[in-house]
Chains A and B, each alone.
Chain A
Amino acid sequence: MSSPSAVRPDSDLQALMSRYQRGDFDAATALVHRLSPQLHRFFVVQATGRADADDLLQETWLRIHRVRHTYRPGEPVLPWLYAIARHIRVDHYRRTRRAAVREGRFEQALDVAVSVRPAPAQDLETLLSPLPPSQREVIEMLKVAGMTLEEVARATSSSVGSVKQKAHRAYEKLREWLREE
């Protein structure tokens, strides 16, 4: 596994976050426009569907707005942001699972999820669909958002070793699936 090559100007994000905390609307708007595409993709990749992803994105920003004081100036922004987004996604997953169980279609939904087969040329969400959610989010953060192992560990409230292990298992699974193609 190679480390992500994309250079992330996290110091820009930190400066924007500090201005946002000081009540600067332009900074808030800049953050929303800059980070929403990757947050949106984070939700889409987690197999929530586009409409749900839109809702989750809005919910995440409203939550971020409510708890923006918990960001510590000078610290990396993405782990903080993704920790909140992940919390929203897990809440959403629990809500939908409860609703699905109530409606008796949970097992059916699971069968559909497992039967998806990826293809190398397909989009990211299809490519990552065979992975369990915990591995999918690690790959999405590492390889798409370009976060470091330490940042992913912070965002997922786990250790760097655990992140490495999940990434390794995800690659093994992806290798197996792609070989079948």
Chain B
Amino acid sequence: MRNNDIDDILGRAARAPEPVDPAVLARVTTSIGASLKAVRPLPSRWILAGVFIVLAAAAGIGTAVVLGTGGWDRLSVMEAVVIFSALAVLLCVVGAVCVSQIVPGSRWHAAPALPLVAGAIALSAIFAVLFRDYATPHFIASGYPCLRQGLEVALPTGLVLWLLLRRGFAVHPAGAGLAAGTLAGLAGLTMLEMHCAYFSAPHVVVWHVGVIPIAAAAGGAIGWAIGHFRR
């Protein structure tokens, strides 16, 4: 049996759909008519993605400027270009993924977990190559405050992102939460790279990059819970 034969069989079987109960259609149109008013469509995907990206970048850079840019001042030009180019690329990718998560029927860019995993690995590799200091004195004592500060930036950024995301419709709430959490985590990491002047590779990889998966996991869990309780 060839594909064309199967097409014919499917075509014959699908020819006459059962009519929908007119009472159902009447109920639907009545419900719609009762609350019908003009709505403003969402902005274009580029504008939405741009807003998400600018918001995350502004949160990270703005907080670093307030807290102090000791890290930025110590970075060489080459280090700064490599690190912040990578962060910019990741911000753009995750911003686009965020938009695809809240607009039904979007072209699928990537699974929300993909930029999270790929980004965390790529950034870890970059830091491990750029920062040749592998000493780990006071590993936890010096690292925990960085992690906390990064999450303190990620949390409000995530909340603002969530307010923006709510205007869309997350077909996959957990995926939308994960993407928003990743973006918020990137804001936290951006702040840390500008603020923290301690360039030990293990410190940066664990306590700075670690902000991203923690924020993403929190975002994913919140999205999952919202989707679960919305049902």
Docked CA distance A12–B102 (Å): 25
Task: Tell me the dominant secondary structure on chain A's binding face.
Answer: helix
Q: For residues 64 through 94 of chain A, which have their beta carbon under 8 Å from a beta carbon of chain B?
A: 65-73, 75-76, 78-84, 86-87, 91, 94
Residues in A neighbouring B4, C-beta threshold 8 A? 2
Q: For the side of the interface on B, what is the size category?
A: 35 or more
Residues in A neighbouring B7, C-beta threshold 8 A? 1-2, 143
Whether B9 and A178, one on each chain, are in contact in the complex, defined by CB atoms closer than 8 angstroms, is: yes
Residues in B neighbouring A94, C-beta threshold 8 A? 231
Residues in A neighbouring B14, C-beta threshold 8 A? 41, 124, 143-144
Residues in A neighbouring B167, C-beta threshold 8 A? 69
- State the Cβ distance, A134 to closest chain B Cβ, in Å: 15
Q: For residues 127 through 181 of chain A, which have their beta carbon under 8 Å from a beta carbon of chain B?
A: 127, 139, 143-144, 150, 153-155, 157-159, 171, 174-175, 178-179
Count residues of A near B (Cβ-Cβ below 8 Å).
67
Q: Is B76 interfacial (CB 8 A cutoff)?
A: no
Chain B's closest residue to A70 (CB) is: B169
- State the Cβ distance, A111 to closest chain B Cβ, in Å: 25
Docked CA distance A81–B169 (Å): 12
Q: Is A109 interfacial (CB 8 A cutoff)?
A: no
Q: Is A54 interfacial (CB 8 A cutoff)?
A: yes
Q: For residues 1 through 20 of chain B, which have their beta carbon under 8 Å from a beta carbon of chain A?
A: 1, 3-4, 6-7, 9-14, 17-20
What does the 1/0 interface line of B10-44 toward A look like (CB < 8 Å)?
11111001111100110111011101111111101
Given A72-B103, A120-B9, A175-B6: A44 in contact with B108 (beta carbons within 8 A)? no
Residues in A neighbouring B156, C-beta threshold 8 A? none
- State the Cβ distance, A55 to closest chain B Cβ, in Å: 9
